[in-house]
């Protein structure tokens, strides 16, 4: 390699370095605008929590909190399908209200007064060891079919995987 070739190589390397450094400085001084936030997509989940009131005492306290956590209920209120409270001819006397589609069902409860879709959901979880949770998305696909997580925050984390924030 001749001296001339070396000089060409040195010059090229210098130019490339200057271009890279220039781009970095530009990015620091004039940062590109952040991408627009992704709008939350309606998740329309159907969530069943199956449990046994007679064995609640065997459940760790942090897991028991799942049963009545307002934080979890708020999430479910926002991310579960709203459906009519009317079942066959049994409607509230007042104007029918819509209810978010989540239920905490004792495993021995008679679910014949619930809507057919809820009866099917309960049927799908029948025979599973309690406490069990089953989540179906709006396409009717079962996305969660497992024991209750250990805590409220773990339950929320799990639900957010399929229901979004």
Applying CB under 8 A, the residues found at the interface with another protein are 53-54, 56-57, 61-62, 64-65, 67-71, 73-74, 76, 85-87, 90-94, 97, 99-100, 102-106, 108-111, 113-115, 152
For another protein, which is the closer residue by CB, 14 or 68?
A: 68
CA distance 109 to 52: 9
Smallest distance from the beta carbon of 135 to another protein, in angstroms?
A: 14
For another protein, which is the closer residue by CB, 102 or 148?
A: 102
Verify cis geometry, omega within 30 degrees of 0, for the bond prior to 96: no
CA distance 106 to 136: 19
HSE-CB of 162 using CA atoms within 13 angstroms? 21
Helices 152-163, 70-79: inter-axial angle, 10-degree rounding: 10
| In contact, 82 and 101? CB cutoff 8 Å | yes
Smallest distance from the beta carbon of 39 to another protein, in angstroms?
A: 26
Smallest distance from the beta carbon of 128 to another protein, in angstroms?
A: 17
For another protein, which is the closer residue by CB, 73 or 160?
A: 73
For another protein, which is the closer residue by CB, 113 or 160?
A: 113
């Amino acid at each position: 390699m001749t001296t001339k070739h070396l000089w060409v190589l040195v010059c090229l390397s210098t130019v490339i370095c200057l271009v890279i450094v220039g781009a970095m400085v530009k990015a620091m001084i004039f940062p590109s605008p952040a991408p627009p936030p992704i709008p939350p997509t309606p998740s329309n989940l159907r969530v069943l929590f199956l449990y046994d009131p007679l064995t609640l005492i065997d459940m760790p306290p942090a897991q028991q909190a799942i049963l009545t956590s307002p934080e979890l209920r708020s999430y479910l209120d926002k991310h579960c399908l709203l459906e009519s409270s009317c079942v066959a001819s049994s409607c509230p006397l007042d104007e029918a209200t819509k209810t978010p589609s989540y239920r905490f069902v004792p495993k021995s409860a008679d679910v014949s007064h619930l809507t057919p879709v809820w009866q099917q959901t309960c049927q799908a979880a029948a025979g599973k060891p309690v406490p069990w949770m089953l989540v179906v998305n709006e396409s009717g696909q079962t996305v969660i079919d497992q024991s209750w997580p250990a805590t409220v925050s773990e339950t929320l984390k799990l639900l957010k995987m399929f229901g979004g924030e």
